[in-house]
């Protein structure tokens, strides 16, 4: 407990900055603010909802490319200027969306470019600076900052509800621009620079030594563990994303009203936050691969409940909560495993590449489940396949074995 208090006493400022950074990150802001804007965008652009959803596909491609760019930038420059410049560009682009003439293609272009412009504020950056400051309680620290995804998924619809559905709906883009801009000013004040400021912020000489320990990026690419993590992650995340976007229509098919289905789905946000905190807490205490398998296998049981359980609210809430647990823990589990199995020496490039590949792989989810749903006109085959895929993917984490020990270069 004393060691826990010591790490959090010295690193609390970094933890809060990173939490705010994740909350306003391009990784989440575009995704969780899009839903409230859909009806206004549909009316303004005269585009079908299905076609409008392609903006999120472009956004995922931008996140994948931006994660690679962020890894490259963090390998060559200090994190602070990269973060500050990215936040300014990200904010400026959102403000521009509120001013320019908006068409379907312009919307696609902006949602592609937003995470590229804000690449230095993607998850890779916030997880890296957290890993640099926390050693013994890294899992819990990562879990805390990544609850930002759950915070913005809940807050964005509430904040934007003040303008969406009105003639001033485009003010929503200015509101979104203010979010990363507020993070910019907090970082300007609170984010430490190098040298003395870092020491004052809690980076010990031991932690500085840890930054140089680990594999080079070329060495990482030659390890079987890297590709095992990617394979397991893609298999699970494809099912998780497919479930997230289909829970409400699935519940309607099972006989629930639209309003009841939305109420059941509201359990997802809370379970997402709980999944992150529980996963992070456990990873500091027991085997990371065991925690990864235990958390990531929960969507398989969600599929079974949606498929076989009686259509009562309690069972459907449980199924939704299990999806949220996996969705809540995925990114911090991956960040933790990367730092433990490959070290921090090439963390930026390694985590950036892992996020890029898994994002592109999981972004194929609509191409997988779309034809299945169209061909069968119900969710039975979709749920059976999802259950099987997760039962294949999640146990792959158990093959990773013990954490290696790295010598200083």
- Report the pLDDT value the prediction gives residue 184, as an integer from 0 to 100: 95
pLDDT digits (tens, 9 = 90+) for 94-153: 999 999 988 899 999 999 999 999 999 998 899 888 888 887 788 888 888 888 887 887
14 or 11, which is more confident: 14
Residue range 89-93: average pLDDT?
Answer: 95
Q: Tell me how far CA of residue 89 lies from CA of 14, 104, 201, in angstroms.
A: 22, 22, 27
* Residue corresponding to tokens 């596909």: 57
- Report the pLDDT value the prediction gives residue 71, as an integer from 0 to 100: 83
Residue 210 has pLDDT above 60, yes or no: no
Give me Rg for the CA atoms of the chain: 21
* Topology annotation, domain 217-400: Growth Hormone; Chain: A; (1.20.1250)
254 or 1, which is more confident: 254
- Report the pLDDT value the prediction gives residue 288, as an integer from 0 to 100: 87
pLDDT digits (tens, 9 = 90+) for 224-235: 999 999 999 999
pLDDT digits (tens, 9 = 90+) for 26-81: 988 888 787 778 778 888 888 876 677 778 788 888 988 898 898 888 888 888 99
Nearest residue to 338 via CA among 248, 252, 404: 404
pLDDT digits (tens, 9 = 90+) for 272-302: 888 878 887 888 888 889 999 999 999 999 9
Q: Which CATH architecture has domain 2-209?
A: Up-down Bundle (1.20)
Residue 310 has pLDDT above 90, yes or no: no
Could you tell me the residue ranges of all domains in the chain? 2-209, 217-400
Nearest residue to 312 via CA among 260, 361, 359, 358: 260
How confident is the prediction for the chain on average, in pLDDT?
Answer: 83
Q: Tell me how far CA of residue 77 lies from CA of 71, 298, 327, 392, in angstroms.
A: 10, 39, 31, 40
Cβ atoms 236, 298 nearer than 8 A: no
Residue 345 has pLDDT above 90, yes or no: no
- Report the pLDDT value the prediction gives residue 105, as an integer from 0 to 100: 92
- Phi/psi for 364 (5° steps) reads -80, 0
| 107 CB neighbour count, 10 Å cutoff | 20
Cβ atoms 112, 58 nearer than 8 A: yes
249 or 123, which is more confident: 123
* Residue corresponding to tokens 């489940």: 369
249 or 188, which is more confident: 188
Which tokens sit at 290?
């065991």
Distance CA 218, CA 110 (A): 33
Q: Positive or negative, the Cα torsion across 249, 255, 256, 257?
A: positive
Cβ atoms 232, 393 nearer than 8 A: yes
Sorting pLDDT into bands at 50, 70 and 90, what band is 244? confident
Cβ atoms 90, 146 nearer than 8 A: no
Letter string b/e over residues 284-308, b meaning 16 or more CB atoms within 10 A of that residue's CB: beebbbebbbbbbbbbbbbbbbbbe
Sorting pLDDT into bands at 50, 70 and 90, what band is 197? very low
- Report the pLDDT value the prediction gives residue 293, as an integer from 0 to 100: 94
What residues contact residue 150 under an 8 Å CB cut-off, 6+ apart? 269, 270, 272, 273, 276, 328
C-alpha 103: how far from chain center: 28
Residue 255 burial by Cβ neighbours in a 10 Å radius (0-12, 13-18, 19+): exposed
Distance CA 153, CA 156 (A): 6
- Report the pLDDT value the prediction gives residue 206, as an integer from 0 to 100: 46
- Report the pLDDT value the prediction gives residue 262, as an integer from 0 to 100: 73
What residues contact residue 77 under an 8 Å CB cut-off, 6+ apart? none
């Amino acid at each position: 407990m004393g060691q826990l208090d010591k790490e959090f006493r010295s690193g609390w400022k970094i933890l809060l900055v990173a939490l705010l950074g994740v909350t306003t990150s391009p990784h989440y802001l575009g995704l969780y603010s899009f839903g409230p804007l859909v009806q206004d965008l549909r009316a303004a652009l005269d585009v079908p909802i299905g076609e409008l959803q392609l903006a999120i596909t472009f956004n995922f491609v931008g996140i994948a490319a931006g994660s690679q760019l962020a890894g490259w930038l963090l390998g060559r420059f200090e994190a602070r200027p990269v973060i500050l410049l990215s936040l300014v560009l990200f904010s400026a682009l959102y403000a521009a969306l509120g001013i320019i003439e908006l068409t379907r293609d312009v919307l696609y272009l902006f949602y592609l470019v937003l995470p590229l412009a804000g690449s230095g504020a993607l998850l890779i950056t916030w997880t890296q600076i957290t890993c640099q400051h926390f050693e013994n309680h890294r899992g819990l620290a990562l879990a805390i900052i990544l609850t930002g995804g759950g915070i913005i998924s809940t807050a964005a619809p509430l904040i934007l509800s003040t303008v969406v559905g009105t003639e001033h709906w485009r003010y929503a883009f200015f509101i979104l621009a203010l979010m990363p801009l507020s993070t910019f000013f907090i970082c300007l004040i609170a984010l430490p620079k190098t040298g003395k400021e870092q020491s004052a912020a809690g980076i010990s000489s031991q932690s500085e030594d840890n930054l140089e320990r680990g594999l080079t990026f070329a060495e990482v690419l030659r390890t079987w563990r890297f590709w095992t993590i990617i394979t397991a992650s893609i298999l699970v995340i494809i099912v998780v994303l497919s479930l997230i976007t289909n829970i409400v229509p699935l519940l309607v098919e099972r006989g629930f009203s639209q309003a009841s289905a939305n109420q059941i789905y509201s359990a997802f946000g809370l379970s997402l936050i709980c999944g992150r905190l529980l996963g992070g807490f456990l990873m500091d205490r027991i085997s990371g691969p065991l925690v990864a398998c235990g958390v990531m296998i929960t969507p398989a049981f969600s599929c079974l409940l949606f498929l076989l359980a009686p259509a009562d609210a309690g069972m459907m809430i449980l199924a939704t909560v299990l999806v949220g647990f996996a969705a809540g823990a995925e990114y911090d589990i991956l960040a933790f495993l990367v730092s433990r199995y490959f070290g921090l020496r090439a963390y930026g490039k390694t985590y950036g590449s892992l996020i890029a590949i898994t994002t592109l792989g999981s972004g194929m989810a609509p191409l997988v489940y779309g034809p299945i749903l169209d061909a069968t006109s119900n969710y039975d085959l979709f749920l059976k396949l999802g259950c099987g895929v997760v039962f294949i993917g999640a146990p792959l984490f158990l093959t990773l074995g013990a954490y290696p020990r790295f010598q200083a270069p």
